Amino acid sequence: MYDVFEQVCNRIFNQLKTEEYLTISLRGENSQFIRFNRARIRQTGLVEDMSVSLKLIIGQRTASGELPFIGVEDPDYQSVFDELERLRKEVVQLPEDPFIVLPQPGDSTHEVHTGDLLPKDEVTDSLIPALKDVDMSGIWAAGNIYRGSANSAGQVHWFETETFSFDYSLVTPEEKMVKATFAGRHWNREKYNAFAADSIHKLEKMKLAPKKIKPGKYRTYIAPAGVADLIGMFSWGGLSEAAIQQGDSAFLKMRNEKIRLSRLFTLKEDFSGGTVPRFNALGEVAPEILPLIEGGRLVNTLVSSRTAKEYGKISNYADDWEDLRAPVMTEGALAEKAILEELGTGVYLSNLHYLNWSDRIGGRITGMTRYACFWVENGEIAAPIENMRFDDSFYNFFGPELEAVTDEARFIPDVGTYAGRELGGVTCPGILLKSFALTL
């Protein structure tokens, strides 16, 4: 596919006029999907899908478009050329953009990350036995995902990765649930069986009589899936330099007042895992590793070239949204087998849902506990808790209330499929908190 993409792009760039700049981006996949219900196959199929998007710049004006791509040079070239002609007519009617960023020359990149996936005809025999005795619903998605970017300044970038994810829920007869996602690039049957067994263990605990706890601050453990949701909020009015410059970032206190989080909290962008490309839509290549928060201290934000131009900053080639693309939180020293013992008496949260800022400038995040969340007494799970709303600031739970971080980080993938299988996710450990505010 790379060869066809490169050839089409080269032919299109040869048609450009002197004053025209063009970027062409491709997204595609070749995936297997299987939908399960009650631990049985309900739907299965293979999906091969591709599209390209164009961004044309003339002077201080820009226009964009998107169209399907079939992987055959001549018809794809004609379709892309027709779209270029349409954009030429449209762009002259649009307002000028004073902070437009032109494509720049630079080195091209080519990354192919080969995984070790289950053969398509072995998926069900590998997944179902570990969960055959429970009511399981879920979706298996696996295969090759690829991204391409080329611009009229001479850069061509290509990224391919093979990944899998099994996103499932286990359900009791009373319709209480345990949710989990097993994902990666290299299938490991032993790790999967152990992961599934842990889910079944939690499901058995969900059959206990539920406990209603009162609003208040509780000693709390949040598992990696919940931590990933909290870190995900940093992509929304968080670590964006534009949001900071516009006074709409939760990290203003760290920038302006030099407030620090816990020394146990370290976060970086790390593209070395091979799950997401380093290049953005402009063809700019981000550093392989970019430290963001080191030992609780803000050391970098996400700065796009547009923001750099507007506010006089130095770009680190974030995408236009300045969101986290490959976040990794550093592990700590708390052994996973010792979590319940160290928690003692308090709340164990496996998942969080419906997160939002309740006070962005104050760093306050609200949301709901969901699925396998438990009350723990003397190091033992005593009962599932009824759903509760939480409302607390990361300046607290990633700050002085952060007591320990587990010694193993897990990859929590983005399992969205709205416009195709999404890339990336959050790699993070679990966290033990001295207190966490449950409010309703």
Is the residue at 180 inside a domain?
Answer: yes
- Of 167, 184, 206, which residue is a domain's last? 206
Hey, is 24 helix, strand or coil?
strand
166 with 287, same domain: the answer is: no
Is the residue at 122 inside a domain?
Answer: yes
Is the residue at 73 inside a domain?
Answer: yes
**Phi and psi at residue 173, in whole multiples of 5°?**
-60, -25
- How would you label 304-324 residue by residue, b for 16+ Cβ within 10 Å and e otherwise? bbbbbeeeebebbbbbeebbb
> Looking at residue 141, what is its pLDDT?
97
Q: Which residue has the tokens 């490991």?
A: 188
Contact present, 403 and 303 (Cβ < 8 Å): no
> Looking at residue 207, what is its pLDDT?
95
> Looking at residue 283, what is its pLDDT?
92
What is the total count of domains within the chain? Answer: 2
- Of 156, 185, 206, which residue is a domain's last? 206
DSSP state of 257: S
Closest CA to 24 of 33, 34, 32, 13: 13
Query: d(Cα 26, Cα 150) in Å, to the nearest integer?
Result: 9
What distances in angstroms separate CA 260 from CA 112, 133, 134, 329, 384, one per listed residue? 38, 48, 45, 16, 34
434 with 333, same domain: the answer is: yes
Q: What residue numbers bound the domain in which 308 lies?
A: 216-438
190 with 338, same domain: the answer is: no
β-bridge mates for residue 130, sequence order: none
156 with 282, same domain: the answer is: no
What distances in angstroms separate CA 381 from CA 205, 259, 307, 361, 389, one per listed residue? 7, 36, 49, 36, 20
What distances in angstroms separate CA 270 from CA 29, 249, 278, one per listed residue? 23, 22, 9
**pTM for the complete prediction?**
0.95
347 with 244, same domain: the answer is: yes
153 with 283, same domain: the answer is: no
237 with 385, same domain: the answer is: yes
- Of 162, 183, 206, which residue is a domain's last? 206
Closest CA to 140 of 204, 277, 47: 47
Is the residue at 176 inside a domain?
Answer: yes
Structure tokens at 318: 């974030």
Query: d(Cα 114, Cα 159) in Å, to the nearest integer?
Result: 11
Structure tokens at 199: 């889910």
Q: Which residue type sits at 247?
A: G
> Looking at residue 34, what is its pLDDT?
97
Is the residue at 211 inside a domain?
Answer: no
270 with 173, same domain: the answer is: no
CA angle, 190 then 192 then 196, to 5°: 120
pLDDT by residue, tens only, the chain of 440 residues: 999 999 999 999 999 999 999 999 999 999 999 999 988 999 999 999 999 999 999 999 999 999 999 999 999 999 999 999 999 999 999 999 999 999 999 999 999 999 999 999 999 999 999 998 899 999 999 999 999 999 999 999 999 999 999 999 999 999 999 999 999 999 999 999 999 999 999 999 999 999 999 999 999 999 999 999 999 999 999 999 999 999 999 999 999 999 999 999 999 999 999 899 999 989 999 999 999 999 999 999 999 999 999 999 999 999 999 999 999 999 999 999 999 999 999 999 999 999 999 999 999 999 999 899 999 999 999 999 999 999 999 999 999 999 999 999 999 999 998 889 999 999 999 999 999 999 99
270 with 304, same domain: the answer is: yes
Q: Which residue type sits at 234?
A: F
Contact present, 415 and 251 (Cβ < 8 Å): no
Q: Which residues contact 187 (CB under 8 A, 6 or more apart)?
A: 116, 117, 118, 126, 164
Is the residue at 275 inside a domain?
Answer: yes
118 with 167, same domain: the answer is: yes
172 with 235, same domain: the answer is: no
Q: Which residue has the tokens 């030429």?
A: 88
> Looking at residue 419, what is its pLDDT?
85
> Looking at residue 70, what is its pLDDT?
97
Kindly report the number of other CB atoms within 10 A of residue 190's CB atom: 7
> Looking at residue 196, what is its pLDDT?
97
* Sign of the Cα pseudo-torsion (289, 293, 297, 302, in order): positive
Report the CATH number at residue 25. Answer: 3.30.2290.10
Is the residue at 141 inside a domain?
Answer: yes
196 with 222, same domain: the answer is: no
